[in-house]
C-alpha cells in the first residue's frame, strides 16, 4: 500500500486531537471548561474509548479543519460495561448539528438499541447548522443506523438508560436532545436557550422537573453520570448497612405533629453512602432516590413530611412518582416506598393545576409494574394517598411485602377532618372553641388508636408491623428471593418529562 496514503490519514487523525490545537484548548480552559474530548475521557474507563467518525469534517475536502464535524462519538466502558457516548464540540462551528454528525449519533443509537447499551450525550451547541449542505445522494451505503437522532432516543427510551449532560448553552435542537433523555444532569452554570438569543439558567428548569441533577461543575456532572449508570450496569454481591441503621426509629419524633426529614430515614435504611436523589428541586413533597440494598439496586420513593405540603401529593409529586415507577420498572429496579402521607392535595389551586387528572398517573404506573414492590408505612396514610405509594389492595399487582411501623395510622381522610363530619352536631353545639377542639381531638385519638399499631396488625391491614430497625433486613431477605431478570422486549417507554 502507498505509504503516502497512510501518512495522509494518520496526519489528518492527529489533527483531531486536543494536542494539535493548544490555542483552542487554552481558551476553553480559561473559561473553566473541559474540551469535548476531555469530557469523553473522564466519562469512560481509562483507554477504553473507540471513536467513530474521527475523520469526519464539515466538507469532504482533504484539508477540512472542522475536526470530527463538531462531535466526538464512540463506544467505551464504564465499570467494565459498554456505553455509547457523544460529545458536541462548541469550538467547531459552535457545536451545531449537521447531517454528517447526525449520522454519527444514528450509528451510536443503532448500537445502543441492538445491544441494550446506555447512551450519554454531552449537550452543548447552537442548534441546527444553518448553512449545512444537503446530503449527497446515497450512491454508497453510509454508516447510518436504523434511527435518526430524535426518533432513536425515543426508541431507546425504556430499553436502556439515556443521559444528557448539559455543561454549556444548549440551544433549540440541543435542548430537545436533553428533554428526550431519561436523565438530565447539568453543571450549575449551564443554560438552555433559543436561536433568538434568549436563555435561562438550569436552576429554573430544575424546579419544573426538566433537570434531574444540578452539579457544581463539569467534573461533578460527569461523575454523576457515571454514578447514575452504575446502578444499571453493576450490582455488587453485598453492601454494608449504614452506621446508624439500628437507630432509625430515633428519626421519628414522639409528637406525631412534628415533621422530620425522610432523607434521614432513607439514608439509615439503604447501604452506606449509596443514595442518589433525582429531581430534588421539583415536587418537593415526594423524594425519588436510587440506592443499593445489600448491593442490589433499588428505587426508593417517599413522602417528605418536612416539605411545605407536609408530604401531601400535588400534581408535581404525582408526576414525579409515576415517572420514577416507570423508570424503575423499565430497568428492572425493585421499588421500596416509605409512606407518611396526608393524602392528595385538594382545593382550588390543586384543581387548577390538574390534580384530578394527574393523581391517576402513579396509580396506573403501579398497576402495570412488574418489578417487586415493598412498602413501609411510617405514620399516616389518608384517602387515596397510600394507593399512590403502594398500589391498590387488590389489583393486577400488589406489594410483595407491605410493612408498617408501630406509629402507623390510616383512614379514609384526616382523622381530625373526619371528626368534623362525624361529630358535626356536637362541635357546632360546643360553647367555646376550646370545647369544640376537645371534641374533635378526642374523636381523632380514639380513631387513631383503633387503626394504629397492634390493632392494625390484628386486623391484617399489613403483612407485618415491625420495629423500624428490622425493616432493612426484612426487605433485604425478600429482595434476595427475587433476582433481577431483564425482559426480552421493551415493557413500555418512560414519560419523557
CA distance 101 to 331: 29
Q: What is the pLDDT of residue 467?
A: 96
Task: Tell the residue number behind the cell numbers 432513536, with chain if given.
Answer: 152
CA distance 197 to 80: 41
Q: What is the pLDDT of residues 385-440, one digit of tens each?
A: 889 999 876 677 889 999 999 999 877 556 666 665 566 777 777 778 887 777 77
With contact defined as beta carbons under 8 Å apart, do 82 and 125 qualify?
A: no
Per run of 10 residues, the mean pLDDT along the chain (length 497 residues) is 82 86 93 96 97 88 87 97 97 91 94 97 91 64 73 96 95 94 96 83 92 96 98 91 96 92 98 97 97 97 96 97 98 98 91 92 94 96 90 80 92 62 71 77 66 80 95 96 93 90
Task: Tell the residue number behind the cell numbers 443499593, with chain if given.
Answer: 292
Q: What is the pLDDT of residue 419?
A: 60
With contact defined as beta carbons under 8 Å apart, do 76 and 44 qualify?
A: yes
Task: Compute the chain's Rg from CA coordinates.
Answer: 26
Q: Is the Cα dihedral 26, 27, 32, 34 positive or negative? A: negative
Count the Cβ atoms, other than its own, within 10 Å of residue 183: 24
Q: What is the pLDDT of residues 353-365, one digit of tens each?
A: 999 999 999 999 9
Q: What is the pLDDT of residue 391?
A: 86
CATH code, 237-408+452-479:
3.90.226.10
Q: Which residues contact 87 (CB under 8 A, 6 or more apart)?
A: 36, 37, 39, 40, 71, 72, 73, 121, 122
CA distance 271 to 421: 45
**Equal CATH topology for 3-232 and 237-408+452-479:** yes
Share of the chain above pLDDT 70, in %: 92
Q: What does the mean pLDDT of the chain come to?
A: 90
Q: What is the pLDDT of residue 432?
A: 84
Q: Which residues contact 116 (CB under 8 A, 6 or more apart)?
A: 159, 160, 486
Domain 3-232 in CATH 3.90.226.10: yes
Q: Is the Cα dihedral 93, 102, 115, 239 positive or negative? A: positive
Residue 488 exposed, middle or buried by CB count within 10 Å (0-12, 13-18, 19+): exposed
Count the Cβ atoms, other than its own, within 10 Å of residue 209: 18
Q: Residue 128: what are its φ and ψ, rounded to 5°?
A: -70, 145
Domain boundaries, the chain: 3-232, 237-408+452-479
CA distance 314 to 319: 9
Q: What is the pLDDT of residue 234?
A: 94
Q: Residue 319: what are its φ and ψ, rounded to 5°?
A: -65, -40
With contact defined as beta carbons under 8 Å apart, do 368 and 158 qualify?
A: no
Amino acid at each position: 500500500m502507498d505509504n503516502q496514503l497512510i501518512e495522509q490519514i494518520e496526519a489528518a487523525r492527529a489533527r483531531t486531537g486536543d494536542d494539535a490545537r493548544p490555542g483552542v484548548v487554552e481558551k476553553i480552559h480559561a473559561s473553566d471548561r473541559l474540551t469535548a474530548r476531555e469530557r469523553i475521557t473522564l466519562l469512560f474507563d481509562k483507554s477504553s474509548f473507540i471513536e467513530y467518525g474521527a475523520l469526519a469534517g464539515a466538507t469532504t475536502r482533504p484539508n477540512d479543519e472542522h475536526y470530527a464535524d463538531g462531535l466526538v462519538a464512540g463506544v467505551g466502558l464504564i465499570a467494565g460495561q459498554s456505553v455509547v457516548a457523544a460529545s458536541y464540540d462548541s469550538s467547531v462551528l459552535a457545536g451545531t448539528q449537521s447531517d454528517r454528525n447526525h449520522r454519527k449519533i444514528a450509528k451510536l443509537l443503532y448500537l445502543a438499541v441492538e445491544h441494550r447499551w446506555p447512551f450519554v450525550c454531552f449537550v452543548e451547541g447552537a442548534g441546527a447548522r444553518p448553512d449545512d449542505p444537503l446530503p449527497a445522494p446515497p450512491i454508497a451505503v453510509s454508516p447510518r443506523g436504523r434511527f435518526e437522532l430524535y426518533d432513536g432516543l425515543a426508541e431507546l427510551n425504556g430499553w436502556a438508560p439515556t443521559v444528557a449532560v448539559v455543561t454549556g448553552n444548549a440551544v433549540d435542537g440541543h435542548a430537545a436532545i436533553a428533554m428526550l433523555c431519561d436523565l438530565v444532569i447539568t453543571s450549575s452554570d449551564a443554560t438552555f436557550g433559543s436561536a433568538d438569543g434568549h436563555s435561562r439558567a438550569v436552576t429554573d428548569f430544575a424546579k419544573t422537573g426538566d433537570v434531574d441533577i444540578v452539579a457544581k461543575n463539569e467534573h461533578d456532572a460527569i461523575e454523576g453520570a457515571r454514578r447514575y449508570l452504575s446502578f444499571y450496569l453493576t450490582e455488587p454481591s453485598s453492601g454494608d448497612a449504614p452506621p446508624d441503621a439500628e437507630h432509625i426509629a430515633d428519626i421519628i419524633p414522639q409528637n406525631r405533629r412534628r415533621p422530620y426529614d425522610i432523607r434521614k430515614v432513607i439514608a439509615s435504611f439503604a447501604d452506606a453512602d449509596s443514595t442518589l436523589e433525582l429531581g430534588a428541586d421539583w415536587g418537593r413533597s415526594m423524594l425519588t432516590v436510587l440506592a443499593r440494598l445489600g448491593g442490589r439496586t433499588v428505587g426508593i420513593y417517599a413522602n417528605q413530611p418536612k416539605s411545605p405540603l407536609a408530604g401531601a401529593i400535588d400534581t408535581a409529586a404525582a408526576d414525579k412518582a409515576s415517572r420514577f415507577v416507570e423508570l424503575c420498572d423499565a430497568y428492572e429496579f425493585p421499588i421500596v416506598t416509605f409512606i407518611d402521607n396526608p393524602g392528595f392535595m385538594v382545593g382550588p389551586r390543586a384543581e387548577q393545576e390538574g390534580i384530578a387528572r394527574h393523581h391517576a398517573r402513579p396509580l396506573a404506573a403501579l398497576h402495570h409494574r412488574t418489578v417487586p414492590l415493598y412498602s413501609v408505612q411510617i405514620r399516616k396514610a389518608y384517602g387515596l394517598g397510600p394507593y399512590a405509594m403502594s398500589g391498590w389492595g387488590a389489583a393486577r399487582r400488589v406489594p410483595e411485602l407491605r410493612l408498617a411501623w408501630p406509629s402507623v395510622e390510616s383512614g379514609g381522610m384526616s382523622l381530625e377532618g373526619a371528626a368534623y363530619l362525624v361529630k358535626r352536631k356536637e362541635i357546632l353545639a360546643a360553647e367555646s372553641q376550646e370545647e369544640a377542639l376537645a371534641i374533635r381531638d378526642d374523636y381523632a385519638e380514639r380513631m387513631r388508636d383503633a387503626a394504629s399499631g397492634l390493632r392494625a396488625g390484628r386486623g391484617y391491614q399489613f403483612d407485618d408491623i415491625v420495629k423500624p430497625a428490622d425493616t432493612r433486613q426484612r426487605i433485604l431477605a425478600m429482595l434476595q428471593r427475587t433476582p433481577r431478570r431483564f425482559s426480552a422486549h421493551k415493557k413500555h417507554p418512560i414519560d419523557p418529562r
